[in-house]
Amino acid sequence: MSFIHRAGIAILVALAPSWAVGQADESRLKTMTVDELKSLYLACDRAAMRGLLSPAGIAQCSIVYEELKRQAFDGDFEKLLAWSRLHPGVRNTAR
């Protein structure tokens, strides 16, 4: 298991208590570094590909996606998609 994957899982676990009651800690996401957001995004993507996300988890991961897109890619979906395609195990198709 790579460091990035372990870090992403650790972040998911840290956010899980607030997610369990359906509340995203958006202020926490806004204080995360871009690298932390990327790790969390990749962990969300892997969990989604394995069918491990609840409806609440899906909603929370979409908030992570939006924050990462805003902070790291100037709000540009195409830039985020190009970056995500560089990571093995991440979906390589846009839907």
Question: Does the structure show a pLDDT above 90 at 49?
Answer: no
DSSP assigned state of 87: S
Question: Does the structure show a pLDDT above 80 at 17?
Answer: no
Q: Which amino acid is at 7?
A: A
pTM of the model: 0.69
Question: Does the structure show a pLDDT above 60 at 52?
Answer: yes
Please state the domain extents for the chain.
3-84
pLDDT value of residue 7 = 52
Task: State the chain's mean pLDDT as an integer.
Answer: 76
58-81 burial: b if 16+ Cβ within 10 Å, else e: eebbeebbebbbebbbeeeeeebe
